[in-house]
Amino acid sequence: MERKKNVVRHHRAPIDKSTYVFGTRAVIEAIKSGKEIEKILVRKGLSNELSRELFSLVREMDIPVQNVPIERIDRITRKNHQGVLAFLSPITYQKIENIIPGIYEKGEVPLILVLDKISDVRNFGAIARSAEVAGAHAIVVPEKGAAQVNADALKTSAGALNMIPVCRVKSLREAIVFLQESGLHILAATEKGDKNYFETSMQEPTAIVMGAEDKGIEPELLKFADEWVKIPQFGQIASLNVSVAASVLIFEAVRQRMQASS
């Protein structure tokens, strides 16, 4: 008899039921009650009177929506979801337009992190932890392609995501333009940088743009940066983990500002 091979199956951890709401009416009521929604999954082709009410509300509230195959929602819950499932956010998103004036009013020098499609929740949590410890004022993320703020992200951040403002924007390009118009110097961390990160001044109002490890910063965003900086590397590994790279740059800003004030 042929012996069966041992097969190791990897299963995703089940999603905590307290982090989502399903059913069109339930999702509508969750939005109306003021719950912070991370994103909504909607079955492709869904169209009825109730769903049109939902779509109208979603547009009004600027909530990210993904049109997905029904199987995607079925994998999360087998209950009567009606093709609609909303993930609840454990944090309240802020508006960058409200954050920057408040920083200046307090007499502080803005230090902002802009994260371009960093989708790994643990990297995001680790970046938030470093940013909060360093006294950064906010983190800016896009509606699409950013890490979901969930229990893993919160745990990795050691609670920092409940303390540092996170600003979710439709367009990172428009957010960067706003930051420039608000007097911030835009630094893009990229291997294409023409100078080392410690060779540029971060004593002035600064926004540091970080990209995903595999793709880096989108070329469209790089065009809007005032400077491209790099972290020198001498080993054989191609790159640093993005959360480590972010920490290096954030704390260089801290070092420079402390040195300038001493």
Q: Does domain 20-88 have CATH number 3.30.70.1350?
A: no
pLDDT at 236: 86
> What is the layout of strands, in order, in the sheet containing 206-211?
166-169, 138-142, 111-116, 206-211, 185-189, 227-230, 195-196
In contact, 93 and 226? CB cutoff 8 Å: no
CA 142, CA 209: separation in Å to the nearest integer?
12
Mean pLDDT on 201-217 = 94
Please determine, for residue 183, whether its predicted confidence score (pLDDT) is greater than 90: yes
pLDDT at 210: 97
Domain residue ranges in the chain: 20-88, 96-261
Mean pLDDT on 100-129 = 96
CATH assignment of 96-261, given 3.20.20.70, 2.60.40.10, 3.40.50.10130, 3.40.1280.10?
A: 3.40.1280.10
What confidence category does residue 240 fall into, taking pLDDT thresholds of 50, 70 and 90? confident
CA 17, CA 22: separation in Å to the nearest integer?
10
Whole-model pTM: value is: 0.83
Q: What angle do CA 169, 171, 175 make, to 5 degrees?
A: 75
CB 104: neighbour CB atoms within 10 A? 13
Sign of CA dihedral 64, 67, 69, 74: positive
